[in-house]
Structure 1
Amino acid sequence: MQRVIEGTRPRVVVVGGGFAGFSALRHLQRHLAPDVADLVLVNPTDYLLYSPLLPEVATGVVEARHIAVSLRRALPRVRLLLGRVTGVDLAARTVQVQPVAGAGEPAGLTWDRLVLVPGSVTRQVPVPGVPEHGRGLKTLVEAVFLRDHLLQQLDLADAQPDTPDGRAERRALLTVVAVGAGYTGTEVVAQTQRWLRTIERRWDRTRAGDVRWILVDAASAVLPELGPDLGRRALDLLRRRGVDVRLGTAVASADETAVRLTDGTTVATRTLLWGVGVVASPLIGELGLPTRRGRLVVDETLGVPGHPDVWSAGDAAAVPDLAARRAGGEPPDTPPTAQHAQRQGTVLGRNVAASLGVGCPRAYRHRDLGLVADLGGWDAVAKPLGVPLTGPLAKVVTRGYHLYALPAMANRVRVATDWLFQTVLPPESTQLSVVRLEDARLAAAQGVAPAPTRSGDEPAVSSGS
């Protein structure tokens, strides 16, 4: 018989410790007295990952732990259960929690208020070979693996004999195919290429210029979220650096030795980076509740219609963007970015508190502060408050925004110190080899298999975070 965890005070259960869940719980622990409600968080890790800086982890600029905000330290009043929610019974008011390996037996957890913020997972499309051979960049495991993998490929290429077969193998080892010209794909290609130039003396016979970079996207622009002007500037920068950018092109299939593209070419490679955006956690598709483009439908107060004690926000929810309401029409959904998730979490926390008699509920309304993209070195593009910026000024704005958005002072100091050390110390080029290949596959990073996409209910895609 399944064990059921119960309590005496009203219990607020938050599913997911990302930006939205973290911000909601931080508001609740600040504004609810301890005797008003018990706060419980179910999350597979004991940290909040500041994912916008994952490309800098992959290039060794920032230490991995420095973008992982300790949930136990930041949320001392919250009971943290390390595990994944595998099912939700809205009628019985319980969630089924599968603990992480070795942490205990599966259990049912009762709730009085339920906050569904499980976030998103890397989007996969039904392309043969991609789940097995593609590498994402949405988790710390993936970022650390990618860094070691690239160093290993250059090590292997440097050791190839000068024979026809050796030269062919060397070319394949030195070819990187990246899919997705949004934030993830563009930033990781730009930053990684720049990083390899700073450490190219690590090898005897290989230089960073020998690495062939191919960036493909089915869309017609790079970084479309930043607008056509900044997108063109980013595209021009990539091409000046020698990146082969192929727009209007997708992956047809992949295996361990090559990637076949829809433009009819076959690229021999050992590295396929997958950064085509995100979809809501598979848990959302199992709830039996209305969704829009794969995300859970909520109202302007982030409540789930028909369920007054259930809320959702962040990448998993289709939140109406009241600040972007079009004249005479329905508001669009907010994009799945960290900026919106953080602010939605604060509003969500306020509305949960209001349901417990503390404060008044309010609708979510936030005008986007702008978007930033770090392209390595002193190159960046940014659009703060609608003002387009490039070059060093954009770089300063980009780093300033990340320090502002990191939700813990200790992490801000550590990241700022990493950036400082980067300017005065030799770049880091050590290969740690601490992540197993199977743990870095796209399916492993998702934790659970994604729900199949239904015709007419396509998931929302975002290359941003």
Structure 2
Amino acid sequence: MKSLRDAIQLRAQILRHLEEANFECNSAERQSLLTFVVAGGGFAGVETVAALNDFVRDALPFYPNLGEGMLRVVLVHSGPVILPELGESLGRHTQKVLEGRGVEIRLNTRVKSMTENKIFLPYTTPIPCSTLVWTAGTVPSPLISPLPCAKERGRITVNQFLQVSDWPDVWAVGDCAFVPDIKNPGKSHPPTAQHAIREGKVVAQNIAAALLGRPGKPFSFKTIGLLASIGRRTGVARIFGYNFSGFLAWWMWRTIYLSKLPGLDKKVRVAFDWTLDLIFPKDVCAVHDLSYHRDFHRLESVKEAAGGNGDYQPSTS
């Protein structure tokens, strides 16, 4: 789960599996279709499993042959507590809330392997499942790995001025950079948007300073807060060291994201859409993503009609 395209495909697959399960006579096959597993208990995994669980259960009334007892939503996490970035207290609270909504949580375990309709975990029986959402960790862009420079955990190592260690005239920021935390020696800044945005501003200043022969500015930033939505208009948050949960945390989560949208028109449109979401039930219509191949073949057809150089070629027939 990384892009909007992934989300559209996941939504379409969930609805397709509900449609198939509604008329499936084989109980084993139906169980596989109605089991959804999310690997990874960080922010992406918890928010995904919470939204998925809500969506599937909201869609059930449209399928008369299915019941909530047939559904199985599983979150697999390698650590002892989910949402470890928010601390054990909020992690335990989130686990309790999700389990109360029917989510099965497997801690201290990893997905070992999978087939088309089974997922294998260590030291336990396979889980019959046809949908696995992978959020367990991210890696930098594959463009980074072949670069002949020092790396840490796959990311380019930089100094406090965000200069690449081996190439002082090259800077790196964001997910691809291992940025040292000068206030906590031996540790690095997390690859989150909060830090990346501020790294971008500092690196711009440092590039300008380098061109003018002036000293650079070291990067230092402390996380303001972390928030997560856990479904049903509830959330968890840790802001300036204080913990929040429930509707207030969810409201703060939405408000902060709304404030980040560019332009007043987009803010108003999204706020209006979110307001309608508070009043009306979820829309469970299927939205299918068009394949890349269609656009590719269409482009090739246009090239054939227009000519290789893009100029129009009149028909000779």
8 Å CA contact 1:180, 1:275 repeated in 2? yes
Which of 36, 52, 59 is equivalent to 1:192? 52
Which of 163, 180, 191 is equivalent to 2:40? 180
Partner deviation per Cα, 1:200-236 (whole Å, 9 max, x = no partner): 3222222455320111112111100000000000011
Q: How far has the Cα of 1:361 moved from its partner?
A: 3.3
8 Å CA contact 2:14, 2:56 repeated in 1? no
Q: Distance in 1 between matches of 2:57 and 2:290?
A: 24
* Distance of aligned partners of 1:265 and 1:435 in 2 relative to their CA distance in 1, 3 Å threshold: farther
Q: How far has the Cα of 1:411 moved from its partner?
A: 3.8
8 Å CA contact 1:176, 1:272 repeated in 2? yes
Which of 135, 140, 164 is equivalent to 1:275? 135
Residue 138 of structure 1 is matched in structure 2 by 2
Residue 253 of structure 1 is matched in structure 2 by 113
Aligned-pair RMSD on alpha carbons?
2.2
Residue 420 of structure 1 is matched in structure 2 by 275
Residue 217 of structure 1 is matched in structure 2 by 77
TM-score (norm 2): 0.86
Q: How far has the Cα of 1:348 moved from its partner?
A: 1.4
Q: Distance in 1 between matches of 2:214 and 2:15?
A: 53
Instruction: Compare 196-205 and 182-191 and name the one that shifted more.
Output: 196-205
* Distance of aligned partners of 1:209 and 1:258 in 2 relative to their CA distance in 1, 3 Å threshold: same
TM-score (norm 1): 0.60
8 Å CA contact 2:150, 2:165 repeated in 1? no
Q: Distance in 2 between matches of 1:421 and 1:382?
A: 24
Query: How many corresponding residue pairs?
Result: 294
Residue 23 of structure 2 is matched in structure 1 by 159
* Over 4 Å off, 4+ runs: 407-410, 435-439
Q: How does 1:50-449 map to 2 (within 5 A)?
A: 137-161=1-25, 166-208=26-68, 210-322=70-182, 325-326=183-184, 330-357=185-212, 361-436=216-291
Structure with greater strand percent: 1
8 Å CA contact 2:149, 2:166 repeated in 1? no
Instruction: Compare 429-438 and 250-259 and name the one that shifted more.
Output: 429-438
Q: How far has the Cα of 1:378 moved from its partner?
A: 2.1
8 Å CA contact 1:249, 1:263 repeated in 2? no
8 Å CA contact 1:178, 1:189 repeated in 2? yes
* Distance of aligned partners of 1:215 and 1:401 in 2 relative to their CA distance in 1, 3 Å threshold: same
Q: Distance in 1 between matches of 2:262 and 2:165?
A: 30
Bigger relative contact order, structure 1 or 2, given CA contacts below 8 A and separation 6+?
1
8 Å CA contact 2:150, 2:166 repeated in 1? no
Q: Distance in 1 between matches of 2:169 and 2:237?
A: 39
Q: Distance in 2 between matches of 1:396 and 1:156?
A: 36
8 Å CA contact 1:160, 1:167 repeated in 2? yes
Residue 11 of structure 1 is matched in structure 2 by none
* Distance of aligned partners of 1:413 and 1:152 in 2 relative to their CA distance in 1, 3 Å threshold: same
**Which amino acid is the alignment partner of residue 229 of structure 1?**
S
Unaligned residue ranges in structure 1 (runs of 5+): 1-136, 440-465
Larger Rg: 1 or 2? Answer: 2
Q: Distance in 2 between matches of 1:331 and 1:339?
A: 20
Q: Distance in 1 between matches of 2:91 and 2:166?
A: 42
Partner deviation per Cα, 1:30-51 (whole Å, 9 max, x = no partner): xxxxxxxxxxxxxxxxxxxxxx
Partner deviation per Cα, 1:329-371 (whole Å, 9 max, x = no partner): x241111111111111111122223334398731111110111
8 Å CA contact 1:196, 1:208 repeated in 2? no
Give the match's secondary structure for 1:196.
Answer: helix
* Distance of aligned partners of 1:412 and 1:299 in 2 relative to their CA distance in 1, 3 Å threshold: farther
Q: How far has the Cα of 1:242 moved from its partner?
A: 1.5
8 Å CA contact 1:350, 1:359 repeated in 2? no
Q: Distance in 1 between matches of 2:266 and 2:44?
A: 22
Q: Distance in 2 between matches of 1:427 and 1:415?
A: 16
Q: Distance in 1 between matches of 2:293 and 2:190?
A: 31
Give the match's secondary structure for 2:5.
Answer: helix
8 Å CA contact 1:216, 1:246 repeated in 2? yes
**Which amino acid is the alignment partner of residue 155 of structure 2?**
R
Q: Distance in 1 between matches of 2:186 and 2:173?
A: 16
Residue 59 of structure 1 is matched in structure 2 by none
Structure with greater helix percent: 2
